[in-house]
């Protein structure tokens, strides 16, 4: 199917053209019309710290923010310790949801844009357009449940005793989503600093640097200009974790 004509508005897009996986949820006979009708405003966020409050207000009673391109890190801290979630293409966000409630534990939530990011604003108006195609609702709910599954796997990873094992498992977990198979292994095209990796595996940065050096020395993970190259097979512990963790439904 040829791409739709370019928008004259600078800050708008055909969501189903940008995210073909959503289009696959619709009857092929209806797809051309759905592509034309399912439009939304776009928001571009540069690299660096990000406060999504103003954007979250614009969501209203709509669906949320759909990541079209880019990478974001959501960090949540409790008593000086932080956990993190890596988000990218296809993820559905509702920043600010529930954060106005008073939690039993004092929490700090911070967002950081790791790569320039483009978001589709699925606000009330966009939600009305999407409502004409009920299959899209099911596909977006599946996205939210898949995000919860990724979080569950990540929680299981950080419970591994050795940081080296955590890192090795994390890289292969990221490869499941973003990896590209090549002749020399699987490339994960992400440029993650040691500090970001430390947040993702719930460890301190110096420990992560030492553990990463161990993985490089063993030839299991190599840092290249195109990203991280993984060689060999996924660690057996990760396969066991993925067998145990089931999607929330």
pLDDT at 214: 96
What pLDDT sits at residue 248?
Answer: 44
Cα–Cα–Cα angle for 142, 148, 151, rounded to 5 degrees: 145
Under a CB-based contact definition with an 8 Å cutoff, are residues 145 and 28 in contact?
A: no
* DSSP 3-state percent helix, strand, coil across the chain (nearest 5): 40, 25, 35
**What's the confidence (pLDDT) of residue 45?**
94
Class of domain 159-244: mainly alpha
- How does pLDDT run along the chain (249 residues), one tens digit per residue? 555 655 445 689 999 999 999 999 999 999 999 999 999 999 999 999 999 888 888 998 899 999 999 999 998 876 666 789 999 999 999 987 655 555 555 567 889 999 999 999 999 999 999 999 999 999 999 999 999 999 889 989 999 999 999 999 999 999 999 999 988 899 999 999 999 999 999 999 999 999 999 999 999 999 988 899 999 888 876 656 555 454 444
Tell me, what's the pLDDT at 115? Answer: 94
Choose the CATH number for 12-135 among 1.10.287, 3.10.450, 2.60.120, 1.20.120. 2.60.120
Q: In the β-sheet with 185-188, what is the strand arrangement from edge to edge? A: 180-182, 185-188, 227-230, 221-224
Residue 113 · residue 47 · CB < 8 Å: yes
The CA distance from 240 to 246, in Å, is 12
Specify whether the backbone of 238 is left (phi greater than 0), alpha (psi in -120 to 50) or beta. alpha
Domain ranges of the chain: 12-135, 159-244
Residue 182: per-residue pLDDT: 86
């Amino acid at each position: 199917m040829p791409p739709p004509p370019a928008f004259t508005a600078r800050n708008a897009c055909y969501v189903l053209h940008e995210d073909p996986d959503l289009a696959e949820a619709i009857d092929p006979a209806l797809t051309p019309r759905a592509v034309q009708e399912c439009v939304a405003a776009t928001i571009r966020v540069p690299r660096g710290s990000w406060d999504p409050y103003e954007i979250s207000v614009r969501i209203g009673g709509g669906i949320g923010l759909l990541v079209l391109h880019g990478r974001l890190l959501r960090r949540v801290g409790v008593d000086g310790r932080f956990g993190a979630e890596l988000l990218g293409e296809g993820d559905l966000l509702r920043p600010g949801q529930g954060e106005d409630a008073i939690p039993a534990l004092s929490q700090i939530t911070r967002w950081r844009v790791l790569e320039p990011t483009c978001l589709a604003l699925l606000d009330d108006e966009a939600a009305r357009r999407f409502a004409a195609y009920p299959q899209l609702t099911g596909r977006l709910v599946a996205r939210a449940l898949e995000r919860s599954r990724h979080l569950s796997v990540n929680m299981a990873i950080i419970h591994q005793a050795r940081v080296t094992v955590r890192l090795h498992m994390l890289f292969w977990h990221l490869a499941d989503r973003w990896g590209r198979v090549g002749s020399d292994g699987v490339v994960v095209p992400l440029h993650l600093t040691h500090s970001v990796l430390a947040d993702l595996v719930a460890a301190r940065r110096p420990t992560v640097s030492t553990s990463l050096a161990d993985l490089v020395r063993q030839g299991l993970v190599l840092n290249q200009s195109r990203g991280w190259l993984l060689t060999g097979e996924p660690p057996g512990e990760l396969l066991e974790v993925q067998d145990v963790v089931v999607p929330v439904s």
